[in-house]
Amino acid sequence: MSPRAACDIEALADDAWLLRFGDRIDPELNAAVHAMAARLRARQPGWLRDLVPAYASLGVFFDPAEDAARVHGELLALVDEASPTVSGQRASGGDCSPLPLLAGEGVPRLVEIPVLYGGEHGSDLESSASELGLSPAELIARHTAGDYTVAMIGFAPGFPYLSGLDPALALPRLATPRARVAAGSVAIGGAQTGIYPRESPGGWRVLGRTPWVLFDPDRQAPTRLLPGDRVRFRAIDADEFARLGRGQDTAS
């Protein structure tokens, strides 16, 4: 049996390949996705046009004028370099893991998100706390204690799916989604937490709201959070919420 790559590479479009790292939501797999994305960005191949990380896969978009087979060969070589195989068996029992990042390569940002919990901005805080057997204050404390990672951006422009939620805080989505969830709402959906970047329908449990604008197409960098960023939440009061909201024009 001839050796094969540790990751599956399949066609996603005429100008895109999809690198599959596994088939489940797992922090190590997601870290492997972001490490490979960082490795590709660091190498800056001339054909690279965009990278779209997901939980366990990486979309690699290339210049359509390039030969797709040649791009595939370069990706295959990078995968083989990152995940050596022996006798056709995947090195990590079915998943692939890129080489450790080099010094200074792809170091994730740490972004602190201010959140006003409860009240009109967190309509599900009290019921969620009750369901979890906690007081609202305890739920806030445990939610802000988490160290989260932007696993991927999806659902809506700028919507960050955040991994790292304390498993004890996992909550099912609402039986009937709301027709309108306010922009900036911080919520729990299953074993994940996330932030609604714009007003939209949604069925996640809303705990609070950030005054930050997560997506603005008129900004030089439209999306405030990027895949691979680390995120911490910080509880704020109504006065700080109003003050930060007024400062959006100067927010980075």
Q: Please tell me the distance from the alpha carbon of residue 123 to that of residue 28, in angstroms, as a whole number.
A: 33
* pLDDT reading at 221 higher than 70: yes
Averaged pLDDT for residues 178-187: 96
Predicted confidence band of residue 96 (pLDDT cuts 50, 70, 90)? low
Alpha-helix runs per DSSP H in 135-209: 136-144
What is the reported pLDDT for 83?
59
- Residue 127 predicted with pLDDT over 60: yes
Query: What is d(CA 79, CA 227) in angstroms, rounded to the nearest whole number?
Result: 20
Tokens matching residue 47: 């054909």
pLDDT tens digit sequence for 38-57: 889 888 899 999 999 998 89
Q: Are 97 and 30 in contact (CB under 8 A)?
A: no
Question: For the CA atoms of the chain, what is the radius of gyration?
Answer: 20
Q: Residue 127: enclosing H or E segment and its boundaries? A: helix 125-132
> Global pTM?
0.78
Q: How many angstroms separate the CA atoms of 121 and 129, rounded?
A: 15
Handedness of CA 29, 45, 215, 242 (dihedral sign): positive
More confident residue, 90 or 68: 68
Q: Which of 57, 77, 56 is nearest to 11 (CA)?
A: 57
Residue tagged 């409860």 (tokens): 118
Domains and CATH numbers, the chain: 8-82 (3.30.1360.40), 110-250 (2.40.100.10)
